[in-house]
Amino acid sequence: MKANNSLMILFLTARDENTEFAMLRNLKKGASYINFLLTLTILMGSPQLIWGSDTMPHPFEVNASGAVLLDFKSGEFIYGQNSQKQIKPASLVKILTLFLVFDAVKSGQVRLEDNVLISKKAWRTRGSKMFIEVGTQVPLVELIKGIAVASGNDACVAVAEFLQGSEQAFVEKMNEKLRDLGILHTHFRTVSGWPAPDQYTTAFDMALLARAYVRTHPEALHYHKLKEFTSEGISQLNRNRLLWRDPSIDGLKTGYISKAGYHLLATAQREDQRFIAVVMGAKNPRVREREALRLLNYGFRNYTSVMLFEKGKLLLQLPVWKGKAGQIGLTAAESGVVAVPISKEKEVSWHTETPEKLFAPVKKGQSIGQAIISYKKKVLRRIPLHADQEILQAGLVKRTLHTLALQGKAHKMRLISVLIFFAALIWFLLRTRWSRQNRRRRHRYLPAQKDLI
């Protein structure tokens, strides 16, 4: 290990994706392709990390500034260390850049086959490059590969200008997207992660971003798992070296700046289970890879996914007051899936919490209560329950009756007294009327009785 560290010092001092640009530039000038590959292999070796205390599960130390492990299906954090510590994001920013690109493709705003005109600004962008030439037309899909594989800063600027007209306008869309996703402790100032004031994130937020990205655009993994990319006659290897070490790994992104260290956002799927590991602030590439892989293996070896109910499944019926219909079905807004320690599946339970009374009108899809999933009395997830139909208000008569019934429940004894009073009153009135009728009958037939005498 000491020998490896000594060798790494020669190549890793103040190096990152941006200093790799100098190596690639030399290659373009005629440097040996074999020497380039050897140097790049050493440069992209592996990483290490350093942490502290955290409120998340923390069964072991990771050699990095911050790290988390997230179960993809449930969104549950399995591991956390300094998960909320602010760290410079470096090229992890490019996950959000690609997120917006795939959003635009999905919405039909652009197509993968569209040609993108490369501006002078994009061409002159510093740092890691895919080496696009100014004034050329490059298919959008090639720029996506250049960002996902080669971490091209020039490609990031090119797609930003293509979609929003300028890098700054694109950055505003990026931060707007973060707010929409509920990612609150991250702020970006550049499309590539190039160092800038007031640009920061956390391991926690990067895991949330990665999960949203892969859930929304699973097709993006096709590009992130590519091991090599060639542009302008220059072939570059994917900086995520875990792609060579474990076939289950299919993403996602690396990053480095001198003030923060080496980052790796990795994801892997084995059978029907996927985890996302974030390692930030490692000492070198070899450490970030080792620790990210350790986190992923820890998740797969110790946790299993438990599906309690599917998204959209009817979980219960709830009475509805003052509505045209008397009850409504409540369905799960999300799948009831959680990650729990292996062999502990039977200790997972769930129950519902709903309003004591539900009044019409009710809109279809309206959130009404929640399903709570617990493990050993610890709440793991809260899933909203949605109304499965619309229920309009009933007519005046039914609403009045329901009002009386509700008042009766609240004032049961008072209502009983009132009912007894009215029953007695009605009985008295009927008895009085019956008595009068009997007297009249007797009076009407009385003379006839005298004649008989």
pLDDT of residue 20: 41
Mean pLDDT value across residues 111-128: 96
Mean pLDDT value across residues 144-170: 97
Handedness of CA 404, 410, 412, 417 (dihedral sign): negative
411 vs 253, residue with greater confidence: 253
Q: Residues 46, 65, 74, 91: which is the catalytic one?
A: 91
Find out whether 67 and 203 touch, Cβ atoms under 8 Å: yes
User: Before 247, cis peptide (omega within 30)?
Assistant: no
Token pair, residue 356, equals 């004591």
Across 320-387, the runs of DSSP E, i.e. the strands, are: 327-332, 337-341, 348-353, 367-375, 378-387
Alpha helices in 303-411 (DSSP H): 396-410
pLDDT in tens, 172-204: 999 999 999 999 999 999 999 999 999 999 999
Give yes or no for residue 150 having a pLDDT over 70: yes
What's the rounded Cα separation, in Å, for the pair 271 and 305? 11
Give yes or no for residue 280 having a pLDDT over 60: yes
Averaged confidence pLDDT in the chain: 86
442-447 contacts at long range (C-beta below 8 A, 24 or more positions apart): none
Find out whether 186 and 177 touch, Cβ atoms under 8 Å: no
pLDDT in tens, 76-99: 999 999 999 999 999 999 999 999
Task: Identify whether 151 is a catalytic site residue.
Answer: yes
Q: Residues 46, 74, 119, 151: which is the catalytic one?
A: 151
Q: Name 183's bridge partners.
A: none
pLDDT of residue 415: 59
pLDDT of residue 311: 95
CA angle, corner 96, sides to 95 and 98, nearest 5? 70
Q: Which domains does the chain have, with CATH numbers?
A: 2-302 (3.40.710.10), 308-415 (2.60.410.10)
pLDDT in tens, 288-332: 999 999 999 999 999 999 999 999 999 999 999 999 999 999 999
Give yes or no for residue 3 having a pLDDT over 70: no
pLDDT of residue 262: 98
Handedness of CA 286, 265, 248, 304 (dihedral sign): positive
Mean pLDDT value across residues 239-251: 97
Mean pLDDT value across residues 125-147: 96
Give yes or no for residue 131 having a pLDDT over 50: yes
Out of 43-57, 61-75, 106-120, 421-435, least confident range = 43-57
pLDDT of residue 198: 96
Q: Residues 88, 94, 283, 322: which is the catalytic one?
A: 94
Give yes or no for residue 6 having a pLDDT over 90: no
Tokens 């000491």 found at: 2
Mean pLDDT value across residues 210-228: 98
Out of 1-10, 54-63, 159-168, 381-390, least confident range = 1-10
Confidence of residue 424 (pLDDT cuts 50, 70, 90): confident
pLDDT in tens, 373-417: 998 888 989 999 999 999 999 999 888 888 888 876 666 656 577
Share of the chain above pLDDT 70, in %: 83
Share of the chain above pLDDT 90, in %: 72
pLDDT of residue 446: 53
7 vs 58, residue with greater confidence: 58
pLDDT in tens, 20-79: 444 434 434 443 333 333 333 323 332 222 223 345 788 999 999 999 999 999 999 999
